[in-house]
Structures are given as structure tokens and as C-alpha cells.
Amino acid sequence: MMEFPAARLVAALATALALTACSANDDQQTTPGSGATLRVNWGGFPESWAPGAEGEAGYTRVPYENLVEVVKGEVKPMLATSWEQTDTALTLKLREGVVFHDGTPFNAEAVKVNLETVRDAPGPYAGPLKVIKSIDATDDLTVTLNLTEPTPSMLTTLSTRATPMTSPKSIADKSIAQTPVGTGPWAYDAGSSTTGTRMTFTAFDRYWGTAPAFKTIALYAIPDDNQAVGALSSGEIDLSDVEPNAIDRLKGTPGMETLMYPAIRNNPMFFDRGPGGVFEDVNVRRAACYALDTATYVKVEPDMAVRSQHFAEGEPGYNPAVTGYTHDLARAKSLAGGKQISFEVLAAPFTQKQNEVYASQLSALGWDVKVQVAPPPQWAATWNSGKYPYGLGANDELTPFDWYQAWFAADAPGNPSGTESPALKAAADAAIQAGATPEANALWAEVTKVIADEALTCAHIAGQETLAWNSAKVTGVAAPANAWEPNLVNYRDLKPAGA
């Protein structure tokens, strides 16, 4: 849950007034039956709803759908009903009779427009789609992605929040940035929404699938955790993400339930590692890694756990030989060689504490690290843009190919320096060429080791998302099927209490 500074109290008060004003009307709708409204808070709306923009899954998964979904590691149909993949192409057959909320047909041309938009945008999700050299809309219901190299992870990428299907008409006129238009069971209702406070999505009567139990989803942007807990306790909202320490505060509220699920993988990135950059020297990066003490940080964050690397044991890309950089200040100082370094890092309210702890730890090397705090939309659009030489954010890539293409390849969006060592390129090229062969996993594990050895990133942490809800209003809440997506619930599984 986001903890905003005092400067945001005016916005928080405005949200509270808006909640009070609409709660009576919402309560009338939140009774069991086809007219029920689910009121959900995730803290802050996306800066843009356009494909390729970074947005929290808790919001984007309401109006948008993907070509496929991954459930318990298995790829299943969604807007695509079947597919065939080779080393050079992925061909998908699309679902017939699907339309976007604005009436535009969903077809092969729409898929082409969406994927090209994400691939060609400067946003965080472009990297894994760079492998698509061209897209052929063979007929209305057949689309082929022509690949520059074997990409067995492409279907997984098409299941993530990186590749939602949005209206090509809205993309063309650029209205998609502020007005989401997808194919999901709920369509945006501007007339029932309040700018900056509440976005209302109502049942789409031309939806291709089974209608969910809740007719309306009202999404809120309550930035302050204390205020969100108060809104839950008073019945003004039905479900929200909260900080773990809120669980005890909610125990006395009748019907209140909570759960935690693994959703966050974060780590600092050294962006300015090109010629003359702050982090050009690998020993300076290693010094930073040895100076960072994640074990100390997680002692004050009960929902966080120290990890040695991005991937967990059993996942492709995991390498048991990678043990991470255990805190060793003497070694860090030796590697730093007395270099005086000064830089700024941009934090969101929900990463401020972690950034400040890390800045304090890096100051033990004699470095001057200043932490700036920005609202979540501004932070999401800027922290990894290259404006700042160092940044801390979530890495939700599910495959080693996607992780490499997103952050470490020479042309990766998360690598603004454009720098890639020959060793890393050679290791990644070998893994890519292995495709889906039995040797591929070991080769991707070697890529993970090169990334660790070169200290391109370190201080890996995995975190839990905490959900709280009023079981007198909503049932069926569980950890989302989508892996490593914070701020999310399986909306279609939810039902009004008593329904």
C-alpha cells in the first residue's frame, strides 16, 4: 500500500469527501444480485491507460484482456483460441465475435496495432517485443508474429499486463491514454466517474464471455493507507491493498478478512554504466552491492524477504551458483577505492523508505545519495528513463528472456546507457538460439550468473501483497492467478455476499 507524504493530505481529504458523497448510492447497489457494485481501492490511477504504459494490474485488468492467460504455469486461451509456434513465427487464431467497448471489431489488425504500439513505444514493456520483426494479419481471425530469433517465452509475455488488447480506434486518436477501451466484461463509464478519485466500470452488454457476478466495478484512488483502512472499516469500500501492519487494526471489524500473496520482486538498477557514467566501473557497482544490507531492511518490513537473484528455485533462469552480495562494508570500501560519488534517485511514496535506507547504507562509502519523491504516475514514467543513474523498482518479468530484453540487452528500454558486455551478449545469444531445447534452461542460468558477476543489479527482495476485504460484501477473494502482479484480485471469481 502506498504511504504518501503530508503534502498529499489535501488530495486525501478530497478523496474522503468524494467517498462520503457517493457511499449512499453505492451501498444501495452493493446488495446481492445482478446490480451489485464492487468498490475497490489500489491507491492511485495509472498516468496512462495506453498499451505500453506502465500501469498497476489492479486497474488495468478490469477493462482489458490479453490474447492468452497463464494459470498455474499453463498457457490457456483468452482472446486467442489456439496457436502454433516455431523458431521463426507465432501464429494465433483469434476468438470470433469479440468487440471492443467502443464497438470496434477485435481482429488480427487490432492485435497488430496493439503489439506494434507496445514494441515501438519507449515504455518499460517494449524490450521483450523487439524480437517481433513484423506482424501479418493473414485474415480477420489469424495473426502471425514473425520473430528474429527463437522466443519460447512469447506466449507468456502475451499473458502479462505488458500486452493488453485495446481499441485501435482509441490508439489512433490518442484518447486511450485517459479513457480505457478494452474487450473485458466491464466498460468505463465516464458519467459515473469522478476525475482523480473514482473510475466506474459497468457491465458490457456485448461481452463475448460469461457475465461476472458483479455488474459494476468502482475503482478508487485512496493514496493514504490509514485512510484506506478507515474506508474499509466504515464500509465505504469493499476491498483494498493495505500495509501488513494494518492487519491487526482491521481484526476488530466485523466480516473483515485478509490474505498475503507473493507479488513484488524489486532490486536496484545501475542505469548510468556507459562510458564516463557514474557506474561505468564494475568495481563501483560491486562496491554498492556489498554496501547494501537487505537483511537489515527486511527486519523492519515483515512482508519482504531477501533473495539471491531474480528467479526462484525451480523457475527458468535460476542459478544455484549465484549467492548474491552478502553485506560486507570493508570489501565494499576496498572496491570503491575512495571514489567520491554523488547522485540522485527517484522514489515513489511506496519505495521511499527502502530508498532512504539504501541511501544511508551507501553513504558509508562516502557517497552522497539524495532521494527525491514523486507521485506514483510520475515515478513510474521516470525512474528508469535514464534521467537518474540509479533506481529501485519492481521487476515482474516471468522469464529470463523477458528479464534480459527488458533491462540488460543493449537496446533494452531499461538500459538507457545502451551498454552490454561481450560476455553477456554471448551468453544471451547462446540461450536464445537454444530455443525450447533441454539445454536452454542451463544457458539462461548462465545469463543470470553473468548479470550477477557484472553487478548489473543486486540486493534482490521479494515482497508480499496484502489484501483486505469485507466478507459481508464480497466473497471469493483469493490470490490472483497472474504471477508476480501486485495490486490484483481475480475480479471474475468474486461474488456479492449471499449471492
CATH classification at residue 89:
3.90.76.10
309 and 446 share one domain? yes
Place of cell 556507459: 274
Strand residues in 140-210 grouped as ranges (E)? 142-147, 186-188, 198-203
244 and 303 share one domain? no
DSSP 8-state symbol, 412: -
208 and 289 share one domain? no
Is residue 454 within 8 Å of 223, Cβ to Cβ?
no
Residue 219's CATH number:
3.40.190.10
Place of cell 501483497: 465
Whether 272 shows a pLDDT value over 90: the answer reads yes
Domain with 223, as residue range(s), is 6-54+184-255+471-496
Q: Quote the cell numbers at residue 404.
A: 534480459
Is residue 125 within 8 Å of 448, Cβ to Cβ?
no
pLDDT at 35: 64
24-56 core/surface letters (b: 16 or more CB in 10 A; e: else):
eebeebbeeeeebbbbbbbbbbbbbbbbbbbbb
Q: What is the mean pLDDT of residues 240-265?
A: 92
pLDDT above 90 covers a percentage of the chain that reads 80
Whether 407 shows a pLDDT value over 50: the answer reads yes
* 17 within a domain of the structure (yes/no): yes
10: left (phi over 0), alpha (psi -120 to 50) or beta: alpha
251 and 266 share one domain? no
Pairwise CA distance, residues 464 & 452, whole Å: 24
Is residue 319 within 8 Å of 448, Cβ to Cβ?
yes
pLDDT tens for each residue of 443-471:
999 999 999 999 999 999 999 999 999 99
276 and 209 share one domain? no
Q: What is the mean pLDDT of residues 170-178?
A: 97
Describe the chain by its helix, strand, coil percentages, rounded to 5: 30, 20, 45
Pairwise CA distance, residues 48 & 140, whole Å: 28
pLDDT tens for each residue of 374-401:
988 788 889 999 999 999 998 889 999 9
Reference 403, options 85, 119, 120, 153; nearest CA is 153
Strand residues in 280-435 grouped as ranges (E)? 304-306, 342-347, 368-373, 390-394
Residues ≥6 apart with Cβ < 8 Å to 109: 137, 140, 168
Picking from 128, 145, 170, the residue at the C-terminal end of a domain is 170
359 and 458 share one domain? yes
320 and 392 share one domain? yes
359 and 381 share one domain? yes
pLDDT tens for each residue of 282-313:
999 999 999 999 999 999 887 899 999 999 99
Q: Which amino acid is at 453?
A: D
Residues ≥6 apart with Cβ < 8 Å to 327: 290, 291, 292, 293, 294, 295, 296
- As a whole number, the mean pLDDT across the chain is 91
Q: Quote the cell numbers at residue 406.
A: 527488458
Pairwise CA distance, residues 116 & 132, whole Å: 9
Whether 238 shows a pLDDT value over 50: the answer reads yes
Whether 7 shows a pLDDT value over 80: the answer reads no
* 62 within a domain of the structure (yes/no): no
Quote the number of domains for the chain.
Answer: 3
Is residue 30 within 8 Å of 37, Cβ to Cβ?
yes
pLDDT at 469: 97
DSSP 8-state symbol, 156: H
Q: What is the mean pLDDT of residues 466-489?
A: 94
DSSP 8-state symbol, 103: S
Pairwise CA distance, residues 26 & 39, whole Å: 8
Place of cell 490509514: 226
266 and 251 share one domain? no
19 and 104 share one domain? no
The helix/strand/coil state of 358 is: helix
In which band, very low, low, confident or very high, does the pLDDT at 198 lie, cut at 50, 70 and 90?
very high
Q: Which long-range contacts (CB under 8 A, 24 or more apart) does 307-313 make?
A: 307/265, 307/460, 307/461, 307/462, 308/460, 309/448, 309/452, 309/460, 310/265, 310/267, 310/395, 310/397, 310/403, 310/448, 310/457, 310/460, 311/400, 311/403, 311/448, 312/462
Is residue 169 within 8 Å of 104, Cβ to Cβ?
yes
Crossing angle of helices 282-291/329-336, nearest 10°? Answer: 160
Pairwise CA distance, residues 210 & 196, whole Å: 31
Whether 31 shows a pLDDT value over 70: the answer reads no
HSE-up of 369 (CA within 13 Å, CB side)?
A: 24
293 and 422 share one domain? yes
* 345 within a domain of the structure (yes/no): yes
Whether 23 shows a pLDDT value over 50: the answer reads no
Give the pTM.
0.84
CA torsion 72-77-82-86 (nearest 10°) is: -40
